[in-house]
């Protein structure tokens, strides 16, 4: 079995129930083709880089999938004819992705109250740079 990452952009005016129905239909297509969804991320409504079908925003959905080649062909043919899908892309990857992606909302990535170390390091570096700049004056 091969691994794939699939991203599709839905119309921004869809309700959450409609988005869930589309995601369920995608999951059914993948299961019917003998595939398995390893991970699903809802990236939410975001600004598009350029207007697509007279729309400047879209609802992004990401899936990490395990399956065969016919699965991708079937999934993409369904996404192509669905009116609610603005754009889609599926790529083959060597191994499935682990952990949350950078596009998942920041609050969902870490437990409440935990501050990532990289933020603390950046604050220390900024404070040291500000002190050095002040002393130089």
Residue-by-residue DSSP string for the chain: -EEEEEEEEE-TT--HHHHHHHHHHHHHHHHHTT-EEEEEEEEEEEEEEEEETTEEEEEEEEEEEEE-HHHHHHHHHHHHH-TTEEEEEEEEESS---S--TTS-HHHHS-TT---HHHHHHHHHHHHHHHHHHHH-
- What are 86-132's pLDDT values in tens digits? 999 999 988 877 666 766 665 555 444 444 454 445 556 666 666 66
Can you tell me the distance from the alpha carbon of 101 to that of 103, in angstroms, rounded to the nearest whole number? 5
Is residue 27 domain-resident?
yes
Residue 53 falls within a domain, yes or no? yes
Tens digits of per-residue pLDDT, 30-71? 999 999 998 888 888 888 888 888 888 999 999 899 988 889
Residue 133 lies in a domain: no
Considering its fold, how many domains does the chain have in total? Answer: 1
| 0.85 surpassed by pTM | no
Residue 129 within a domain: no
CB atoms within 10 A of CB 37: 16
State the CATH number of the domain containing residue 96.
3.30.70.60
* Structural domain of 11: 2-103
């Amino acid at each position: 079995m091969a691994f794939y990452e699939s991203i599709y952009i839905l119309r921004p005016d869809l309700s959450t129930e409609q988005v869930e129905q589309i995601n369920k239909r995608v999951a059914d297509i993948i299961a019917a083709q003998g595939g398995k969804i390893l991970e699903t991320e809802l990236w939410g409504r975001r600004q598009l880089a350029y207007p697509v079908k007279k729309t400047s925003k879209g609802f992004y959905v990401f899936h990490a999938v395990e399956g065969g080649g016919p699965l991708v062909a079937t999934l993409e043919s369904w996404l192509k004819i669905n009116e609610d899908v603005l754009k889609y892309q599926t790529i083959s990857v060597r191994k499935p992705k682990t952990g949350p992606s950078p596009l998942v909302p920041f609050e969902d990535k870490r437990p409440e109250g935990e501050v990532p170390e990289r933020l603390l390091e950046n604050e220390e570096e900024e404070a040291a740079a500000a002190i050095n700049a002040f002393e130089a004056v």
